[in-house]
Structure 1
Amino acid sequence: MLRNKGIAFKLVLFFTLSSACIFAAIFSYNYFVSRRMIEKGIRENSSNLITTTTNRIEVLLSATQKIPENIAYFLENSTNDEQELFQVLYAVVENNAEVYGASIAFEPYMFKKDQEFFAPYFYKAYGGINFKYLDKYYNYFYWDWYQIPKELGSPQWIEPYFGEGGGILMSSYSVPFYKKIGNKRQIAGIVVVDVSLESLRNIVSSIKILKSGYGFLISKNGTFVTHPIKEFIMNETIFTIAEAREDDNLREVGRKMIRGESGIAPMWVKSAVTGKSCWMAYVPIKSSGWSLGILFPQDELMADITSLNQVVLVLGITGLLLLAVAVVFIARSITKPLRHMVRATEHIGSGNFDIELPPVKTGDEVGKLSEAFSFMKESLKEYIRELTEATASRERMESELKIAHDIQMGILPKKFPPFPEKTEFDIYAMIKPAREIGGDLYDFFFIDDEQLCFVIADVSGKGIPAALFMALTKTLIKAKATMGLTTDKIISRVNEDLCIGNDMSMFVTVFCGILNIRTGEVQYTNGGHNPPLLMKRDGDVSYLEKSGELLVGVMEEAQYTTRSITLGQGDSLFLYTDGVTEAMNERNELFSEERLRKELTKYQDKTVDQVISAVMQEIGEFAGSTPQSDDITMMMITYKGD
């Protein structure tokens, strides 16, 4: 724990950590600013590089596109002269190095009324130009290069493919042409040129970013048209690579590329060549619907700033170490006299108040502290002497209170069952004082063979006065009850006796009852006490009617009445003091009479001692850590009958 460390350690820790935080903040700011500058440079450079590359590709593809577009225009404005068509196709293949082959494929019976197919094709092979009719080899109406532009009604680049020899990457550009028949303009056929993509591959392959950066081209379906890994070309798509590498960022970028979007990937993309994290810029090739991607290796771009930051980090750590050494030296010069003071204080703490404190040599804070310790030492001598006397006095008082507690508990019945030979009823009671001694009481005794007198009471106040008043009340009640009086007479005479000489105006709440164990009849008088609960055998639990009569010991002329109920076999009476219902929890909520009633409904099948123990446990759980503020006393009687 830091609190147990010395001042020197704390000073070193504080200054070192503070300096480290400041250095880290400056270092981080420098790193992130530099990083943003590099990213900005990447965006600018990638924009320039992509613009230049796409312009070169667009020029190459646009020049190729002009060839079939011009032928289509020518066909729409000419007659279907077979020899003339052959001459045009031958010239196109011969005069354009990038064109591998060219064909004009007519719709059924559009070239001649009696000829369904007509698709002359001139192509380069074996160092010369060869010729064949495509319709002799396959039904060209169902091929992509014919169907797609026909259905879309516009020129289309077809997905790249390898030529018949397998070594040349090619693509076809198809342009529909039309004839005016009557007043309607109808499609007459498709002009298609097969183009070698070697020049395009060379353009993309020429992209070099530092050591391992590269460019690649994908088709409209995401298939690699160019890539440094040749096995990927026409065999893999950007999505199959993303799936194999579980690269969600690459998959999302691939979706944007085939949608014709442009930008820079917001997250790192792993290079398929090196596996390094890269920035990736992408832009569409508008003429073909393909997309160009360029990868910028992060570690190579950040190499210079990483090297610079490493140097700055080493210098910063060295500076922090030197600062720590300087702080240690300064701190020790301050704490040395304090350590001498600590040793002297340890002697004082062990009781040696005659130890000499270090001499005061300075007038600074340490010197003033030494003077204060000297004054403290003398004050402690006097305080210890007074404390010893006070402790001895308190110990005597605590001993007397313990004796008083034992005496108080000794006058209450505590043997259960108290009358084992009596099977007509069960009785159990308990008391838990809030202090060493309290003012609650309970008692029960036989007046004769058939009548059991039982009492529960709560004296006002706490401590010794309440305990003495409680003992007096208990004695008076038992004395009056054994005279054979009714309960109202017992309480009235006890009230008269307690009022005499009651200068402290103390009072007591009392519930006194007499149970006839043969008939189950209970005569009772309530002198301002909490009404008991009647627990019927069928499970019903209810409070006895409140009497509204005065507290005992308040007014000498007070009158009390006797009431009665008859307990059936298995019925019980539950008596308690207000310490039960007024128990409080952390939210200042009371246990309450209603909560007590509901709790008792759960315990119909339990014995008297089990019921009281269960209620006590519920009160403890309800109160939690809230200290007990009042005495808790409970008594329960269950009538069993003969």
Structure 2
Amino acid sequence: MDRTESIAAPTPPRVLARDAHPPVSWRDSLRTKLMLWFGVLVGVLLLIGFVVAFLIARQQIIAGAQDKTRYEAAQTADRLLASMESVRITGAAMIGLFNSLALDREATIKAMEALLDADASTVGGLIALEPGVLRDGLPMAYYVGVDRRGVANRDLIAIGYDAHRQPWYQRTLAADTPWWSEPYFNETAGGHWMSTLNLPLRAADGRRLGMVSLDVPIARWAELVEPLHHIYGQRPALFAPRGTVTLHADPKVALKTTLERYIASAGRSDLTEMAVAQAQRRRFEFTHVLPSTRETRYSVLEPIGKTGWSLQVSMSHKPLLAALKRTIAQLAIIVTLVSLMITLLVRRMAARITTPLSDLTGSASHFAAGEFDYPLHQTERRDEVGVMARAFDNARGSIKRQIVEIQDMSTARQKLESELDIAREIQLAMLPGARVLGADEWRLQANARLEPAKAVGGDFYSFFERDSHTLWFAIGDVSDKGVPAALFMARTMTVLEIAAGRGGSPGIALQEAALRLLEGNDTCMFATVMCGLIDARSGELALASAGHEPPVLLRADGSAEFVDLPSGPPLGVVADEHYPIWRGRLRNGEALVAYTDGITEAFDAKQQPFGGERLLASLRGSNEASTLCSALVADVHRFAADAPQSDDITVLSLHWTGNDDGEQPNEPLSQRFRAPQERARLPELLAAVDEALVKAGIDPALIGDVRLITEEVMCNAVDHGAQPGVEHEVAVELAIERERIVLQFRDDGAPFDPLSEPEPDLDADIDDRPLGGLGLHLVRTLANHATYAREGRYNVLHIVLLRPAAGD
């Protein structure tokens, strides 16, 4: 018999059951008890819920209002700062025009009129000059007004007003920076309340020439602050640099007192700390209670840049909480009525729901035990119980599938982790091991340590010997992590080593690498790099940086300091024309330590960075060259403790010991010369090149070869490389090394490879030879090595001349 037939059974058995067992009283009925318990539980939960909801909503509303107040204060302060900054820029522009163009009296006034008319905030301005500044030798004090804003021009000297004796003039003349005045009523500027920005006017040699001042109506600040008045419960106030209450909700206070006097006269002790913050020009936010009304407010004091002005925005809690209380009361009435209705329905629905739910619960317990094939009933029902039963049935199949997928994913993850471990090993294998260059009188140790934050990373280091006593080294950090950074890191290392292998200074190597990495860099990745050369015989260093952190110089006495290393842009961003070179020397027992930002930006559990000071402290006193890198990394790990490693960590150290006495070998040097536009001035450039070679002690014969090559290439580039009347860029970089001289010529003329030109017929008549052929032949003959490349819009000619060995 099915369930329907069971429910539809005839009445006699039920009558007999009723006779055998008296009906349960409604007071003892399980349904009645369920209804009563449900009612009590709902009432208690509602009470607790409303209390908690009220407290949470109150906190969220107050927090939201505070966030909005902070936001509005910051936004309004930014608007005020932008307006004030535009006034400062207008004044600075006037000073710049006057200094650069040496304006006379009339041109000065016209320039002032044009700048004031373009600035929406100003209505007029004064320019006052000391006697002897203008060509006529007379002083100047002229007020320029914006006519369309109702302010006319006035010659203050003509009307008998001695501006040069005024305190504000003397203060500005002695000041080094612009300053804003307190609000004042300005009759000259149309009879309005004003504030004035005063800027000292100085000559290039620092001589005081006078001042420029610009008047801004207080009404302008009021316009920018006006939106704050439209926010219910919010009040703004604006304070001048010396505390004058410039804008205030109470018109009896605005422009009539200062903040300190207002606190004393109005009994506003709750604003005392804010007054201190306003005097110190710092941001301050606080919750305070008005002494007179006991009203709670939240206020934010926002300094307006470095102008000295401050903006206060205050938000009252009272209107916010009043709306909340009304809403909570309305919700309480509605929910109570609904709860009563639900309680009455519980008794009627309990019997119909309990039986199928018990059945469904039994099946669910088997599912919880992992018996997914246990029979599931109630799936044929069309109500919520049926929906739940079918959902359990679908979930059973879904769980089975997910278990299989999880197993597959676990297998795939293990494979991926294995492949990443292999990639990590390959990446670390690309890095060179420690290097030791030494002889009887000197010794150079190069060590490094790299720890990726992930299986593979973007940090790298490299060093290799150019010869028996010269070591090339580099350290870098790619702008990403993981596999993409590892691939870009491998490309960067390859490009750098190729560029370094061509010779020349570290700056030339970075320049060539920057150009190569820019090609095909669709992902816009970049790398910061520091590279250099060290002569192991003398400790002489040449360093160049592409946006990398400055290295640390560790002295023999244990002290440590950062190297003031100039820098160019990172590699992969732009093809920079020049990377400056820093030159120095390691003394006996000294070390150079380079690192990536994984050291200084390693964070502990409190998100505090390791930083530069801890880096110096960790290195101070270190004298073991072989353990220097490992000791620094260990200090970083001790500092970070249990915090996860957020970035790759890389350290490279060079430790030198040797004899500090006596003359050192000639140091490698690199200089860059720009050719003049007129060929007639080329002798000046050639003389500068000769001077650099003579100072370096180069053999006169070799100096002559360098001069001939430079003169031929430069003349050819200046004469034939550009269109007539168009400025042409021609430059040569000269690198003097121990064993060779490197010349690199760059010009932005039409593409031209001088090395591909055919050799001239030396037996032919001069008239039959092509123009310039003999000169180019001479360049190829004198050079020991020469290469040409078209890099972007530049012709680049690279020439190497070997220096004769000592005694040759």
Give the TM-score of the pair, scaled to structure 2: 0.35
Larger Rg: 1
- Using CA pairs under 8 Å that are at least 6 residues apart, name the structure with larger relative contact order, 1 or 2: 1
